[in-house]
Amino acid sequence: MTHDSTTPLPQPFGLDFQADPYAVYAQLREQGSVHRVALPDGSPVWLVTHEEDVRRGLADPHFSVDKQHSGSGFKGFSLPPALDANLLNLDGGDHLRLRRLVAQGFTPRHVDAMRAHIQSAVDTFVSRLLGRLEADGQADLVAEFANPLPLKIIGDLFVVPAEEQGQFSEWISGMLAPTSKEELVRSIGGIHQYLVDLVASRRATPGDDILSGLIAARDEEDRLTEDELVSLAFLILGAGSENVQHQISNAVVTLLDHPDQLSELREKPELLAAAVEELLRYAHPNLSAIRRFPTEPVDVGDVRIPAGDTVLFSLAAAHRDPARYPQPDQFDIHRADTGHLALGHGLHYCLGAALARTQITLALDALLRRLPQLRLVSAHEDIRWTTTFRFRAPRDLFVAGDGSRS
């Protein structure tokens, strides 16, 4: 299969995609696994939609995340080098070197040790949500709960002052879904300067935290460059909070849309762990994995993708592929196949997977227990979504319902 370079590329990420990306992916998937399409900015990409090909591609070392392998000069965000030298842009030995430096802070054992702290943060923000509901009769679950919770947990790992965490969250949102080029530039600049200042402050006054440990690895053991140090802080603080924020919001929408299964979860909380895995498959905010670049021509399905081209492996399309999941558009907390790709696959499997699962599980458990009458204020179709080719999540989520302080 080839594409005539004189023919305009199809652009699937328009209004229909904004309304229902899964329907668009279903149409593409039925036509074939691999599609040459244009991103909203006109950039050409190969979009892969079949689960089998997505899974295989994510684990194939011939698909690099390093932008140096981009034959088309793809750069994505115009990030300064100090934010770009992270695990999402490195392969092979450099990736493994950086991964080993931070992995010990995110093992299941370490996350278990953090469980009481995470539960305390969850309880605090649920209480704030309840307070807002009691005072106003409704509350924005995104602003009051889903957004601040993971940022506090990750921020506390870095000992970021609570009063500064909200500003950092605004910069991340402004970078990932900017309303203008000026906002994008301002957000990236704010993140960069903040992290440079944070590293300088922690270098002057080190503590018993992840960032101090990374600074020691940089200064004493020379295992990090300065750019790698700042970039790792950016990745952990940014990706570590943003993905969980969106997943909690998407999970609440999904559960409220399926009241029978929500009721069953309240009656049988032991099903919550399985429900979280199904929520990661069914309502994961990341519609595609981070872009890849073939280091040599690679065959995917019946398409040979040239070296250096940009490839997007669609997680959303893969997770709704009927060749892998029976009745894939049905949310089912009893689904037997929990082998989703939401947290990655292969070398780039999510470093913070255990922490993310724990936060999501404890957050939903608290909402189920303490807000038994939780409901949307308006109809589902009135929810305002942020939908890009990268991710989908509610901008806000106004809810009502009586709750319990205990």
Higher-scoring residue by pLDDT: 219, 302 = 302
Distances (CA, A) of 390 to 15, 49, 312, 351: 15, 14, 9, 20
pLDDT for residue 19 is more than 60: yes
For residue 3, tell me if it sits in a domain.
Answer: no
Q: What is the pLDDT of residues 115-133, one digit of tens each?
A: 999 999 999 999 999 999 9
Residue 8, in any domain of the structure = no
What pTM was computed for the model? 0.91
With a cut of 60, say whether residue 207 has pLDDT above it.
yes
Whether 10 is covered by a domain: the verdict is no
What pLDDT, on a 0 to 100 scale, did the predictor assign at position 73?
Answer: 56
User: In a 3-state reduction of DSSP, which class is residue 36?
Assistant: strand
Q: Where are the alpha helices (DSSP H) in 177-258?
A: 181-204, 210-219, 226-257
Beta bridge partners of 311: 46, 292
Average pLDDT over residues 278-305: 96
Q: What number of other Cβ atoms are within 10 A of residue 172's Cβ?
A: 22
In angstroms, rounded to a whole number, what is the distance separating the alpha carbons of residues 267 and 271? 9
Give me the mean pLDDT over the 181-209 stretch. Answer: 88
Other CB atoms within 10 Å distance of the CB of residue 57:
26
Count of the separate structural domains present in the chain: 1
Question: Looking at the domain assignment, is residue 213 inside a domain?
Answer: yes
What integer pLDDT is reported at residue 222 of this predicted model?
Answer: 62
pLDDT of residue 3: 52
Q: E strand or H helix at 64, and its extent?
A: strand 63-64
Asked if 174 and 264 count as a contact pair (C-beta separation under 8 A), the reply is no
For residue 225, pLDDT over 90 is answered with: no
Task: Judge whether 48 lies within some domain.
Answer: yes
Phi, psi of 139 (to 5 degrees): -155, 150
pLDDT beyond 90 at 135:
yes
H-state helical runs in 32-73: 51-59
* Cβ atoms of 241 and 172 closer than 8 Å: yes
Tokens representing residue 101 in the block: 């430096």
Is residue 2 in some structural domain?
Answer: no
Measure the N-to-C terminal CA separation of the chain; round to a whole number of Å.
61
Residue 44, helix vs strand vs coil: strand
Q: What is the CATH number of the domain that holds 224?
A: 1.10.630.10
List beta partners, residue 394.
385
Residue 392's SS3 state is strand
Q: Using CA atoms, how far apart are residues 34 and 46, in angstroms rounded to an integer?
A: 7
Q: Mind listing the pLDDT tens digit for each residue in 138-149?
A: 999 999 999 999
- Domain housing 388: 15-400
Query: Does 6 fall in a domain?
Result: no
Residue 148 lies in a domain: yes
